Structure 1
Amino acid sequence: MSNPTKTSRAEDIYRTLKEEIRSNRLHPGAQIPEPELAGRLDVSRTTLREALIRLEADGLVELIPRRGVRILPLRADDMGEIYEILTALEADVAVAMARKRPAAHELQPLQDAIDAMQRAVDMEDLDAWAGADDRFHTVFLEIHGNRRLKRVVETLSDQAHRARIATLHLRNIPKRSTEEHQAILDAILAGDAKQARKALRSHRARAARELLDILDKLSQL
């Protein structure tokens, strides 16, 4: 029988490390011996290993025998593949939602996220904008309601999030992106599945190009 306390501790360590990786506090490419990481977190090696195995399955780290754990680096090729999958999956979600035509009040959390993006744009607060953008895509999947799809997209989004945070302050103020989110929501509210797909795919494709261009330039420095 599993120990609930140990399981809970491993979950806490998993979430802590995941957030440090997502926010790039643990830098891409960094390699850390497991004993050092266990000491830093004040946790047993066994509990740490349980959390690291999950992070490896998430595509965030690589476990290297006798050498510790490596935070996977940010590569333009990897991000290109991730955005291709995200675009396909989210476009289908947009179509399904447009066909269902949820009531406006059901979609209000999406409008609230867009409004928060606009306020952040007006204040030129890129960090606040990124948080609102994350909320939009999270709520987007929650409203759709397919839990398995949500887990798949969240795993991919966690990998892409690191690149977005690393390049956030190298971009222009995301006025256009905010407008694109509004176009997606407007198409869903109108029940226009074709336009919802087009708006979503256009948004993701442009965002991917912008991100990959920056990553390519950074790799040449």
Structure 2
Amino acid sequence: MADDEAMEESGAEAGRATAATRSELAYVELKRRVLDNAFPVGSFFLEQELADLLNMSRTPIREALVRLANEGLVEIRPRHGMRVLPISPEDMREIYTILTALEAEVAAEVAARGLSDEELATLRKAVADMDAALAADDLDAWAVADAWFHRSLVGASANQRLRSVISQYWEQAHRVRMLTLRLRPKPVRSTQEHLALVNAIEARDPKLAWQIHRTHREQAADMLAEILSSHRLTNL
């Protein structure tokens, strides 16, 4: 009898774990599609459509949608569906205000402390990849190299909590960056600013590194907000 009860309890725990895994998989996949704009801003999907798309039941889909709604990415609508929320210039400015302040602190921190030759080489390789992508007119490759640069820079910070907070806002900024990637001017100046930042870090000049990175992010925020407004991407 005891063995039967233990087996039943073990089976129940396994079932809960499997359900949690399905919910997590649904969350990760749906979030990826929203952030990459595979689900365009303003688009509407029924729960059943999403369940069919991911080959799951509606329960893990529903749980995933609640998490995405709490993150401000989607709105749960009547008739058990969801709508991808629009992005406003005001939202973008708020996100970039936070990123600007925190990433500039990281730039100053790593410049004051100094980076290893390997860490500096990683940043320089990212800049070289940006240059190569621009030469090939490959904006997708440029975006990948740009993201790699910023992740490598922040990853060099000794402040784990700072890294964690920045990562959360990166996800929100990513959707707009990909949405506007082909609407912005060719990011030649942005690439040059990345190189200037690496040089300041290598020179162990925290004040200059802080200023370069802050200006870089402020200009990006202004540009993205202007694109969102001028192309009416907030009205979808």
TM-score by length of 1: 0.92
Residue 162 (structure 1) aligns with: 175
Residue 187 (structure 1) aligns with: 200
1:176 partner amino acid? R
Pick closer, same or farther for the CA change 1:77–1:45 going to 2, 3 Å. Answer: same
For 1:153 and 1:56, the matched residues in 2 are separated by 20
* Deviation of 1:79 (Å): 0.5
Q: Is structure 2 residue 24 aligned with structure 1 residue 8?
A: no
2:161 partner amino acid? R
Provide the aligned length of Structure 1 versus Structure 2. Answer: 221
Matched residue of 2:117: which SS?
A: coil
Matched residue of 2:83: which SS?
A: strand
Residue 64 (structure 2) aligns with: 51
For 1:158 and 1:216, the matched residues in 2 are separated by 21
Pick closer, same or farther for the CA change 1:167–1:41 going to 2, 3 Å. Answer: same
* Deviation of 1:12 (Å): 2.1
Larger of the two Rg values belongs to structure: 2
1:59 partner amino acid? G
Residue 113 (structure 2) aligns with: 100
The answer (yes or no) to whether the contact 1:104–1:189 under 8 Å persists in 2 is no
For 1:188 and 1:12, the matched residues in 2 are separated by 39
Residue 29 (structure 1) aligns with: 42
For 1:60 and 1:189, the matched residues in 2 are separated by 38
Q: Is structure 2 residue 89 aligned with structure 1 residue 70?
A: no
1:213 partner amino acid? E
Residue 214 (structure 2) aligns with: 201
2:62 partner amino acid? R
1:205 partner amino acid? E
What root-mean-square deviation, in Å, do the aligned CA atoms of Structure 1 and Structure 2 show? 1.9
* Deviation of 1:67 (Å): 4.0
In structure 1, stretches of 5+ residues that fail to align are: none
* Deviation of 1:66 (Å): 4.2
For 1:6 and 1:107, the matched residues in 2 are separated by 43
TM-score by length of 2: 0.86
Residue 32 (structure 2) aligns with: 19
For 1:156 and 1:65, the matched residues in 2 are separated by 29
Percent sequence identity is 44
